[in-house]
Each structure stands twice: as structure tokens, then as C-alpha cells.
Amino acid sequence: MPKLGLGVYQITDEFACRNTVESALDIGYRLIDTAQAYHNEKFVGDAIKQSNIPREELFITTKLWLADTGYKSTIKAFENSLKKLGLDYLDLYLIHQPIGNYYGSWKAMEELYASGKIKAIGVCNFLPDRLVDLILSHNIIPAVNQIELHLLCQQQELLKLMKKYDIKPMAWAPFIEGKEKIFENPLLISLAKKYNKTTAQIILKWLRQNNIISIPKSTNYTHLQENIQLNNFTLTAEELDTLTQLDKKHSIILDLHDINEVYRLHNIKFIQ
């Protein structure tokens, strides 16, 4: 699995999505992360087809929305996603939220994995209690947990638990969606000047050196190029430690401990 990929959350315009994915693939991205709830699986699939890149070189991820959790619903939703993407199999299929009948979904995903239609299965946004419960109640341990993980919410305790079970962390919104004036952070600016890089590249390098997969989103061609150019510099141990001090130890974007957030997620409905 590539250490860095392209996320396409909120890229719902057909031209913008297809152009962004085509550009990313042309630049060298091989991991593309979409979801049933993003309303753009078909656009991603069209871009993949247009690229003519051999299927085995790509790593394609999509996700099951909570309205379709449950055994039978999961199988149907999976087949719909596969059809929209125009693929014969998925590299990684994820349960999008730890809400709903995800037990039934996991059973279906275990069977789809055994059949070869999915190369790996995992979850998103599973915090320690739900993650351990899922692990202890089923045969297959999630390969990946895609979580809110960035400099201001570093999820240290969750990462320790995931390491115990060999679950790979994948960071969504590594730039915090631009919140908290993250690109104006003085420490990041000073490191960017030192290494002649952007503040975004410093953030992604911090994730890379902590063995965290990241899926930054951008529709800007220059930013797509910059985000993947991380191999010609290395942050020192002291710099990594200093960046760790930025952790606020709580969610900035999605707090699943907040009951209002659970209500909001349950109210998101869409037609396949």
C-alpha cells in the first residue's frame, strides 16, 4: 500500500474530479481514496479507465456508508461501488463510520475478502472501544483504520492500540481542512524555510516519518506535485518531537463522542 495517496472528499463536480484524479495518476499517485458517500465513485472510475495504468499498479479504496450497514445491504452497496468504479476488485474496502449494524457489514466483508473481491478490509473512525470490540468479535482484524489524524489531533493512544494489532493508520484531512490557520503555524513556517519546502510538505513528511499513510486532497496541480515530493529531505528526531508538542489531544473536525454528531451522520441520506 502506498504511503501517500489522493483523497477526493468534496470533489463532487464531474470535470473537477476526473481531471484531478487523471492529473494525480499522471504525476505518479497510485493510491486513490473515495467513498460511497462522496458521490464521485463513477468519476474516479472514469479517470482510472482513461489513465490506462495497469490495474495491478493501482491501490483503490472506497467506503461503505452507515445507511447501508448490515450483511445484505453491504454486499449490495459493495457491488454498486465496484460497478461505479468499473473495477473487478477493490484493494481496500472500509466501514465509513462506527455506527449502525457494522457487525453484519464486517461479516459480509470477511466473505468478500475470502472470495478475492477485496484484497484488504478495514474501518474508519473507530476509536479504541469500538475497535477492540470489533476485533474480539470477529475472525479478521482490520488491516487499516482511517482516522482524523493531524498535528493537532495525533491520536497517540489509539496508535499504540493499533500497533498492538498491526493495524495500519491512515490519516484523513492531514491538513485539518485548513482549519486553525495550520499553514500559518510559525514552527511549520520555520521548518519549511529551513528545508525549502512548503508547510504542507512538512506536515506530510511528519506523517511519513511516523509511518502514517496520508490521503491529502487537492485539486491544484502544483499542490498535487508538491505533496508527493517528500523523498529529498528528512526531519530530525528533535524536530519530530517538537511537532509532537502541537497535539491538542482532541478532535478538531469529527468528534464521535458528541451525540449531536451521531444524529447528524444518521441524517445523511442519499440515493444510490
Cα within 13 Å of Cα(83), Cβ side: 7
- What are the residues facing 32 on neighbouring strands? 6, 60
9 given a catalytic annotation: no
Which of 29, 38, 93, 102 is an active site residue?
Answer: 38
Beta strands at 213-214 and 92-95: parallel, antiparallel or unpaired = unpaired
Query: Strands 59-64, 6-7: parallel, antiparallel or unpaired by DSSP?
Result: unpaired
What is the DSSP annotation of the chain? --SB-EE-TT--SHHHHHHHHHHHHHHT--EEE--GGGT-HHHHHHHHHHHT--GGG-EEEEEE-GGG-SHHHHHHHHHHHHHHHT-S-BSEEEE-SS-SSHHHHHHHHHHHHHHTSBS-EEEES--HHHHHHHHHHSSS--SEEEEE-BTTB--HHHHHHHHHTTPEEEEESTTGGGGGGGGG-HHHHHHHHHHT--HHHHHHHHHHHTT-EE------HHHHHHHH--TT----HHHHHHHHTT--SS-SS--TTSHHHHHHHHT-----
Which residues are tagged catalytic?
Answer: 38
